[in-house]
Amino acid sequence: MINSRLAVAIHILSLISMDEKTSSEIIADSVNTNPVVVRRMISLLKKADILTSRAGVPGASLKKDPANISLLEVYRAVQKQEELFAVHENPNPKCPVGKKIQNALDETFESVQRAMENELASKSLKDVMNHLF
Amino acid sequence: MINSRLAVAIHILSLISMDEKTSSEIIADSVNTNPVVVRRMISLLKKADILTSRAGVPGASLKKDPANISLLEVYRAVQKQEELFAVHENPNPKCPVGKKIQNALDETFESVQRAMENELASKSLKDVMNHLF
DNA sequence: TCAAATGTAACTATTATAGTTACAACGGTG
DNA sequence: CACCGTTGTAACTATAATAGTTACATTTGA
């Protein structure tokens, strides 16, 4: 299972899109987490050019319309790991299977990851928010 | 990132399909892990009706041709969690967003997961093994 | 009958993730 | 223009998932 960061990021972005003055404390209260966790997430979303925020000023502002923020860009903003599936480290190169398994899996997993990412790309923050009301 | 179980399971199944007498110790040596980890995985694959094995008898036997073993069934065999994405626990029900976010995300994440699973379903163990030679 | 293997429980180790504490820096408001 | 509330971030701790290990009862083929 993939971590809950995409879920939390979407929650944060939804609140901000409704009220750009929502502080990290209020957001944390809605998400049920710590304000620092929210601020860290906002920092990642900022690096990804999804929103802006300034020290000392409560809240944050989306840089784009929710309809133009795809879940894929949010996902990539908050996800360290590029790869969807982990592979096992150091398979035995003396075994013909161990020697080539990582390459074989890379090719296979890539298309699966692409399928998932295409679906994420097809959905926007607005699409999710439409389910909120 | 999803754990390495699918990768390890495919590695194990590849070795078994090439030689059904391969012991958990030899498999572990190729994967670079502990024989018990391999036996646990084999136990899961057995429960999923993908292979058979017997106490005291080295190796295991596939119950189907590699071309008829989809990566989705392997994935489901070794993966405890049904859900692809985690959601954050106990969002605040007093907040209109917190109250409905999980439902909204469930609907959204479901189609993404389905896209990934469809791609896994379209690939067989044999497809992966074709990359090994 | 016995050496070698599996099956599994119980424990430990490792790592990713999330949560927390602390505090410097910033800025709008009175 | 000082102050209070806020952000930004570092550093640390806690938690949980995963993998690795030890130990041993059970099975079986030679």
For B61-106, write each residue's pLDDT tens digit: 999 999 999 999 999 999 989 999 999 999 999 999 999 999 999 9
Which positions of strand C lie within 7 Å of protein CB atoms?
3-10, 16-22, 24-28
Average pLDDT (A54-82) is 97
Residue spans of alpha helices (H) in chain A: 5-18, 24-31, 35-47, 71-78, 96-121, 125-130
Which positions of strand D lie within 7 Å of protein CB atoms?
5-11, 17-23, 25-29
pLDDT of residue A65: 97
Tokens of B98: 């917190």
Q: CA of B86 vs C1' of C30, distance in Å?
A: 45
Interface contact flag, B31 A108, Cβ < 8 Å: no
pLDDT of residue B99: 96
Q: Taking 90 as the threshold, does the pLDDT of residue A64 lie above it?
A: yes
pLDDT of residue A97: 96
Mutate to test the interface with A, among B85, B112, B123, B127 (most CBs of A within 10 A): B112
Average pLDDT (A68-97) is 96
Interface contact flag, B112 A105, Cβ < 8 Å: no
| Residue A76 binned pLDDT confidence (cut-offs 50, 70, 90) | very high
Average pLDDT (B35-41) is 98
- Distance (Å, rounded) from C-alpha B17 to C-alpha B27? 12
Interface contact flag, A90 B14, Cβ < 8 Å: no
* Protein contacts of strand C with Cβ less than 7 Å away: A 3-5, 8, 32-34, 36-37, 54-57, 80-81; B 1, 23-25, 35-36, 39-40, 42-43, 46, 53-59, 86, 88
Q: Taking 90 as the threshold, does the pLDDT of residue B133 lie above it?
A: no
Sign, CA dihedral B133-A99-B5-A76, equals negative
Angle of CA points B50, B54, B56, to nearest 5°: 145
- Distance (Å, rounded) from C-alpha A93 to C-alpha B120? 27
Percentage of residues of chain B with pLDDT beyond 90: 98
Return all residues near A124 (Cβ < 8 A) that are at least 6 apart.
A66, A67, A68, A69, A70, A71
- Distance (Å, rounded) from C-alpha B99 to C-alpha B102? 8
Interface contact flag, A96 B15, Cβ < 8 Å: no
The protein residue nearest nucleotide C20, judged by CA to C1', is: A34
pLDDT of residue B26: 97
Nucleotide nearest to B88 (CA to C1'): C18
- Distance (Å, rounded) from C-alpha B98 to C-alpha A7? 11
Task: Quickly count: other Cβ atoms within 10 Å of residue B70's Cβ.
Answer: 18
Task: Give how far A1 is from chain B: nearest CA, Å.
Answer: 5
Nearest CB to A86; choose among B7, B18, B89: B7
Interface contact flag, B32 A128, Cβ < 8 Å: no
* Protein contacts of strand D with Cβ less than 7 Å away: A 1, 23-25, 35-36, 39-40, 42-43, 46, 53-59, 86, 88; B 3-5, 8, 32-34, 36-37, 54-57, 80-81
Q: CA of A15 vs C1' of C6, distance in Å?
A: 55
pLDDT of residue A108: 96
The whole-model pTM stands at: 0.95
| Residue A133 binned pLDDT confidence (cut-offs 50, 70, 90) | confident
